[in-house]
Amino acid sequence: MVLNGSHGEGGGALLRTALSVAALTQQPVRVHNVRGGMRTPGINSEDLCFIRALGLSCLASMQGDDLGSNDLTFVPGRAPRSLNHRLDITEFEKGTVPGNALIVAHALLPVLARAGAYSRLIVHGETYNPNTLSFDAFERVTLAAHRRQGLYAYANHVMAGFGYGARGEIGFEVEPSALSGFDWSTRGALRRIGAVVATADLQDSVGQRGVAHLERLFAGEPFESRQGRREVLPKLDVEAEAVEVRSRGPGAFVTIWAEFEQSIGHGTAMGARGVKIETVVENALDGFLPWFKSEATVDPFLADQLLLPAALAEGATTYTTSRVTQRLITMAWVIKQFLPIHITVFGRDGEPGKVSISR
């Protein structure tokens, strides 16, 4: 199998998906123009950490598994087996873009779930960053959604890594899992709204102020969005908690999510020097509300996270998303290059859509 790494979104998701499905189906693959759609093409430290771990699981022979490489050949030598290892993204940096510990852990998850034995990993890298997977969203939303698919994994936060190039640490365990399809065409009843205000090396009052502000907003106090709109939330109970995390430096991060009978989604925001925690809370709501106010069953980020396990599962899967992304479309295309499966993404990039998967 030969794939052009600049196809569609042309980023790391294409590479990770291709290698994961190659490992699971025991098909060799070559990806050229790796990350060809990105401003910085070529294999980065996050990719390389994932590639080496995956290669170890299935004893793959590889060519081009180097930082900056634009061409990678990956030939699995056996069916994937469990891992019990420490992975450190920062050891591969050497001037390249650092990486996210949660991205690496999540990319390995569908493979390790099919490895037939328990896996235990320690992963070093960023754990809180804007516009990417963060620890509380991973633990409370991503892994919760995967459990609905029959995929069981657990994470614990050993050390927070706030921001670009941070060296946090997570523990990650994956059970052998039997994946099953699900029908999330409609949300069902609201079960709960939750929130975590995570802080490190800040006054205790900062986290408590964030929680208090969330409670006021969900009691109907208006606020102004980043787009300048006056927002008033429906009066709902929110289970918000302030959490002090270990870290090598100060930081703040807010995660808000809602869980329905057949639906889950979230929004996040990261603090910055000079920005009040109340503003960070409102920024997280800006990311949460477009999904929450829609009828979609998963948010745009979860839509692509669910895709590969759903393609591997027994039975059909259906879910809707508040926004189709180019990443989702690209991942669906990659999976179909390896598997005789029907994956249909209804909706255009940037618009609400639906995902249907069947064999």
What is the average per-residue pLDDT within 38-64? Answer: 96
Query: Residue 90 — pLDDT band, cuts 50, 70, 90?
Result: confident
Q: Could you say which of 3.60.120.10, 3.65.10.20, 3.40.50.2000, 3.40.50.261 is the CATH number of the domain covering 2-183+298-358?
A: 3.65.10.20
Q: What's the sign of the alpha-carbon dihedral 63, 110, 136, 230?
A: positive
Residues 6+ apart with CB under 8 A from 221: 232
Mean pLDDT of 49-71: 97
Span 120-132, pLDDT tens digits: 999 999 999 998 9
More confident residue, 281 or 90: 281
Say which residues have a Cβ less than 8 Å from residue 339's Cβ, sequence separation at least 6: 21, 25, 311
pLDDT at position 44 is 93
Q: With a cut of 90, say whether residue 165 has pLDDT above it.
A: no
The pLDDT score that the predictor gives to residue 21 is 98
**Chain-wide mean pLDDT for the chain?**
95
Bridge partners (DSSP) of residue 156 are 171
Backbone angles phi, psi at 105, to 5 degrees: -60, -45
Q: Which whole number is the average pLDDT over 298-313?
A: 98
Q: Is 180 exposed, middle or buried (0-12, 13-18, 19+ CB in 10 A)?
A: middle
Q: CATH 3.65.10.20 region(s) of the chain?
A: 2-183+298-358
The gap between the terminal CA atoms of the chain, to the nearest Å, is: 21
pTM for the model stands at 0.95
What pLDDT is attached to residue 98?
A: 75
Within the chain, all domains assigned CATH 3.30.360.20 are found at 187-292
Residue by residue, DSSP assigns 123-192 as EEEB-B-TTS--HHHIIIIIHHHHHHTT--EEEEEEEB-BSTT--EEEEEEE-----B--EESS--SEEE
Give Cα 250 to chain centroid, integer Å: 23
Q: Is the pLDDT of residue 71 over 70?
A: yes
pLDDT at 96: 53
- 95 pLDDT above the threshold of 60: no
Residue 238: the pLDDT is 96
Residue 227 has pLDDT above 60, yes or no: yes
Q: What is the mean pLDDT of residues 245-256?
A: 96
The 10s digit of each residue's pLDDT in 98-141 is 799 999 999 999 999 999 999 999 999 999 999 899 999 999 99
Banded model confidence at residue 93, pLDDT cuts 50, 70, 90: low
pLDDT tens digits for 11-35? Answer: 999 999 999 999 999 999 999 999 9
- pLDDT single digits (tens) 206-217: 999 999 999 999
Bridge partners of 198, per DSSP, are: 243, 253
What is the average pLDDT across 260-264?
98
Under CATH, which architecture does the 187-292 domain have? 2-Layer Sandwich (3.30)
> Which H or E run contains 4?
strand 2-4
Decide which of 219 and 95 is more confident.
Answer: 219
Q: What is the dihedral of CA 172, 173, 178, 184, to 10 degrees?
A: -40
β-strands 353-358, 342-346 pairing: antiparallel
Which pLDDT value is given to residue 223? 86
The per-residue pLDDT for 97 is: 63
